[in-house]
Amino acid sequence: MGKGHPTAARAFVENRERAQWHDTALWFVREKRDKQAASLPEWELLRETASSIKRHAQSQLADYLVQFEHAANANGAVVHWANTTRELNEIVTKLLQSVGATDVVKSKSMLTEECHLNEHLAKQGIDVVDTDLGERIVQMRNERPSHIVLPAIHTKKEEVGELFHEQLGTEKGATDPQYLTEAARQHLREKFLNADAAITGVNFAIAETGGIVVCTNEGNADIGVSLPKMHIACMGLEKLIPKLSDLSVFTRLLARSATGQSITTYTSHFHKPRRGGELHVVILNNGRTELRAEPEIRDALHCIRCGACMNTCPVYRRSGGHSYNTTVPGPIGSVLNPSMDPKQHNSLPFACSLCGSCSDVCPVQIPLHHQLLTIRHSVKEAGGLARSKRLSMRLASMVFKRPWLYKLSAGLGKCAVRLTPRFIKYSRLNVWGKGRELPPTPRGSFRKWYDKNGGSRGK
């Protein structure tokens, strides 16, 4: 079993000031998202439509994949299939070796993170430079992204300044984002101009036209793929949408949900390779077909990787993306990862208050908090609950099933809370007492208030 979320989150949570700063930064993004959503009267209709398109695409996925392959081939692109991450890594390696590539630029792709492609290529003597600024920062720090849209959201500008001073020779102590971004621009221009090949992710693949769409704000995907001869695009098989016109729905939702922009700066549609170049599309399964077979979980494959569920999640905001130990963290990660590898990730569905905010903001209406609850049940069935949780849940269940016992324990509990000395109340046995204070116990009770205010009248 992997290190559980509470353990992995400890260091982050203990630095209160930083956790607060992280929380505020993400809430700022969430608020920008709200403003954008409110600017469109048809917002809910868009979400519903997006969800229906994805459900339709999933229901005829095999046909659409074949249609995509034919159309892409007709455009002069080459489609490759990988059932496992190992297969994807092998395909990409062979392609790169076929043009003798040693220096590769890559734009943001969570899928290649999922495959640990960079590490694999490094072993073959191929150097991959991540060109998205946030991804470049985490790559230089030897970390992994902590957020799928804002990879370096956990990093402070002072740390970026120090990192750039050491590795890019910027002035010591410089922390101005404008200055640091300019330094990265110069550094990465060199990398772009010297690259032998480029790798990108895929936001959407269009069955009808055989094209792929990549969305960025920085322009790094477009520069990366248009200079060298070879462009390799890596995608999960769930990225498929039936028609070109479906993009109108998804491009309206994606950036609004992700960063609160009305659209990304560049929404690039690649149908044919550049003059004299090659375009390869690698389609990965890696457990997605198994996920598709799970009726309660399969809607998670509709995800368009906007990150809105992370920005709104009270647990994610306060525990940081690295505490999930996964490529995709947050609510959607807590659904996807335990479904694909329950042993490793079974603490994640419990890193959730079931507040349901993730489901409310999801642009494709994935019922995330329901899914998290479903997975909790499976973890329990598989005997994966910690003993403390098992016992307390059994006790709670016993009490809640019996109104008289509930009434008695509520009264007793109130006295107990008031009378128990602190050192016992907040002892090591009470994991919920860590970093939390119980509110002062009220004099009356809801039951008394209800009776007094005529709650049972008319019964």
Task: Pick from 42, 119, 171, 451 the residue near other proteins by CB under 8 A.
Answer: 42
d(CA 75, CA 349): 43
Q: How many CB atoms lie within 10 A of CB 382?
A: 11
287-295, 378-386, 415-423, 432-440 -> range binding other proteins (CB under 8 A): 287-295
Considering beta carbons, is residue 25 or 385 the nearer one to other proteins?
25
The answer to whether residue 299 forms part of the interface with other proteins (CB under 8 A) is no
Contact 334, 372 (CB under 8 A): yes
Q: How many CB atoms lie within 10 A of CB 411?
A: 12
Structure tokens of 298? Answer: 């399969």
Amino acid letter for position 386:
A
CB of 63 to other proteins, least distance (A): 9
Site for other proteins (CB under 8 A): how many residues?
A: 95
CB of 72 to other proteins, least distance (A): 13
d(CA 106, CA 126): 12
Task: Pick from 40, 174, 385, 399 the residue near other proteins by CB under 8 A.
Answer: 40
At residue 92's C-alpha, the angle toward residues 91 and 96, to 5°, is: 120
d(CA 324, CA 322): 5
Torsion angle, alpha carbons of 31, 36, 37, 42, to 10: 170
6-14, 271-279, 391-399, 408-416 -> range binding other proteins (CB under 8 A): 271-279
The answer to whether residue 264 forms part of the interface with other proteins (CB under 8 A) is yes
CB of 181 to other proteins, least distance (A): 4
Structure tokens of 190? Answer: 């060199």
The answer to whether residue 52 forms part of the interface with other proteins (CB under 8 A) is yes
The answer to whether residue 289 forms part of the interface with other proteins (CB under 8 A) is yes
Task: Pick from 226, 378, 409, 445 the residue near other proteins by CB under 8 A.
Answer: 226
How buried is 314 (Cβ within 10 angstroms: 0-12 exposed, 13-18 middle, 19+ buried)? middle
The answer to whether residue 45 forms part of the interface with other proteins (CB under 8 A) is yes
Considering beta carbons, is residue 205 or 352 the nearer one to other proteins?
205
Q: How many CB atoms lie within 10 A of CB 115?
A: 24
Task: Pick from 4, 6, 25, 342 the residue near other proteins by CB under 8 A.
Answer: 25
Helix (H) or strand (E) holding 129: strand 127-130
Question: What does the per-residue mask of binding to other proteins show for 193-222, with x meaning CB under 8 A?
Answer: x---------------x-------xxxx-x
Q: Which residues touch 287 (CB under 8 Å, ≥6 apart)?
A: 340
The answer to whether residue 90 forms part of the interface with other proteins (CB under 8 A) is yes
Task: Pick from 247, 306, 335, 375 the residue near other proteins by CB under 8 A.
Answer: 247
243-272 burial string, b = 16+ CB within 10 Å, else e?
eeebbebbbbbbbbbbbbeeebeebbebbe
Which positions from 166 through 185 interact with other proteins, judged by CB under 8 A?
177-178, 180-182, 185
Which positions from 385 through 404 interact with other proteins, judged by CB under 8 A?
none
User: Can you point out the beta strands (E) in 191-332?
Assistant: 197-200, 204-206, 211-216, 230-236, 240-241, 266-270, 278-284
d(CA 364, CA 44): 10
CB of 96 to other proteins, least distance (A): 15
265-273, 313-321, 335-343, 430-438 -> range binding other proteins (CB under 8 A): 265-273
Contact 315, 352 (CB under 8 A): yes
Contact 129, 104 (CB under 8 A): yes
Considering beta carbons, is residue 184 or 372 the nearer one to other proteins?
184
CB of 353 to other proteins, least distance (A): 25
The answer to whether residue 347 forms part of the interface with other proteins (CB under 8 A) is no
89-97, 316-324, 357-365, 407-415 -> range binding other proteins (CB under 8 A): 89-97
The answer to whether residue 91 forms part of the interface with other proteins (CB under 8 A) is yes
CB of 425 to other proteins, least distance (A): 39
Considering beta carbons, is residue 41 or 421 the nearer one to other proteins?
41
CB of 88 to other proteins, least distance (A): 9
Task: Pick from 3, 31, 35, 66 the residue near other proteins by CB under 8 A.
Answer: 66
Task: Pick from 223, 258, 308, 351 the residue near other proteins by CB under 8 A.
Answer: 223
Which positions from 302 through 321 interact with other proteins, judged by CB under 8 A?
none
Residue for token digits 């917002």?
43
Residue 212: strand pairing partners:
205, 270
Considering beta carbons, is residue 158 or 451 the nearer one to other proteins?
158
